[in-house]
């Protein structure tokens, strides 16, 4: 037989353990619902991204690819890891540091025509700083910061 105060203590411990597991379970569920996977342009070209899935793509803005409409806020550009390109369509105002030949991360999904419909465009606000995503994309494609003249120094 357990002593009453021991039983009380055991009750408290069980209660805390149950509460903790519920909290952890809910947190992990919320996490799994909100993961944005990141892909490189090469992975997109290889068909790793299903149309309609919300993903992030990072790369450089291909030089000479930016076309912005004169009478609306529509913009088209290509993001690239210098091996493959992904065409991006965006309607809105681009961030201050968005420039050709600079790193960019786009968030959105691929439409059936293979064009990436971006809901958000992110450019970093320190020029000397390249986001790990963009860096990883370039590294994966074999274009390192040293051998491409258009890249920001890092």
Residues in the chain: 154
Give the CA distances from residue 42 to residues 85, 124, 130, 154, in Å, rounded to whole numbers and listed in that order. Answer: 8, 22, 19, 23
Q: How far apart are CA 13 and CA 136, in angstroms?
A: 45
Residue 2 Cβ, how far from another protein at the closest point, in Å?
Answer: 19
119: helix, strand or coil: strand
Residue 146 Cβ, how far from another protein at the closest point, in Å?
Answer: 17
Among 71, 113, 147, 149, the residue binding another protein under the rule CB under 8 A is 71
The answer to the question of residue 72 lying near another protein (CB under 8 A) is yes
Q: Which of 108, 101, 109 minimizes the C-alpha distance to 134? A: 101
Residue 151 Cβ, how far from another protein at the closest point, in Å?
Answer: 14
Return residues touching another protein (CB under 8 A).
Answer: 23, 26-27, 30-31, 33-38, 56, 68, 70-73, 91-94, 96-97, 105, 124-129, 131-133, 136, 154
């Amino acid at each position: 037989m357990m002593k009453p105060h021991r039983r009380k203590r055991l009750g408290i411990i069980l209660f805390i353990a149950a509460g903790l597991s519920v909290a952890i379970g809910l947190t992990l569920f919320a996490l799994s619902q909100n993961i944005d996977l990141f892909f490189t342009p090469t992975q997109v070209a290889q068909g790793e991204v299903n149309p309609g899935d919300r993903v992030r793509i990072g790369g450089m803005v291909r030089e000479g690819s930016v076309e912005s409409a004169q009478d609306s806020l529509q913009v088209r550009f290509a993001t690239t890891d210098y091996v493959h390109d992904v065409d991006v369509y965006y309607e809105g105002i681009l961030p201050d540091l968005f420039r050709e030949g600079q790193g960019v991360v786009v968030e959105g999904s691929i439409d059936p025509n293979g064009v990436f419909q971006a809901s958000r465009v992110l450019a970093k606000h320190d020029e000397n700083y390249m986001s790990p995503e963009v860096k990883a994309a370039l590294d994966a494609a074999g274009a390192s910061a040293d051998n491409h003249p258009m890249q920001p120094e890092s």
